[in-house]
Each structure stands twice: as C-alpha cells, then as structure tokens.
Amino acid sequence: MLAAYAGLPKPSGPVTLSAAYLRAVERWEALPDNAAGAEKSWVSRCQEDFKAHFSKAAAGREKDRLLAAHAEALRSLIGEETP
C-alpha cells in the first residue's frame, strides 16, 4: 500500500487555500477558547501525550529490528537459512 503511494509524483509549488477554508479558519480563530488569556493547558497535555505515544511506537520498532537482527545472527551461527 505504501509502495504505491511512494511511487506517486510529489506535489510542489505554492498551496492555494479556498475561500471556504479561509473562512473556516477565521471562524475557528474567533472562538472564545482561542482568545488571548483563555485557558489552554490542555494543549501542553495533548503535545506530551502525542510525544509519549510516538516515542513508544519508535521504541517498539527499534526493539523489533534488534530482535530480527539477533535472530538472523543466531541462524547464521547454526547454519540455518533465513526463512
């Protein structure tokens, strides 16, 4: 699935935002929750949760890579072919 996506041409050049999108951004920015002085501590919590989640995922991939390398080394020591 990713290989098919990787083969697609990559877009380049400026991005054009529609008028509807820009109006939606203006409405979002005008909400009371986005005003100066509004309580926004939830943003920091979300960022920390995001970083923790993806650091665990990266650690899991590294662990899998090391286990596969270890298994390959053991196979070569005992003369087995790689499956």
Q: What is the pLDDT of residue 54?
A: 80
Q: Residues 19-74: pLDDT tens digits?
A: 999 999 999 999 998 888 888 888 888 888 888 888 887 787 777 877 787 778 77
pLDDT at 83: 57
Count: domains in the chain: 1
Residue 14 identity (one-letter amino acid): P
Residue 21 within a domain: no
31 vs 3, higher pLDDT:
31
Threshold 0.85, pTM exceeds? no
The range of the structural domain enclosing residue 64 comes to 50-77
Here the tokens at position 38 are 């509004």
Give the CB-side neighbour count of residue 34, counting CA atoms within 13 A: 7
Distance CA 81, CA 83 (A): 6
40, part of any domain = no
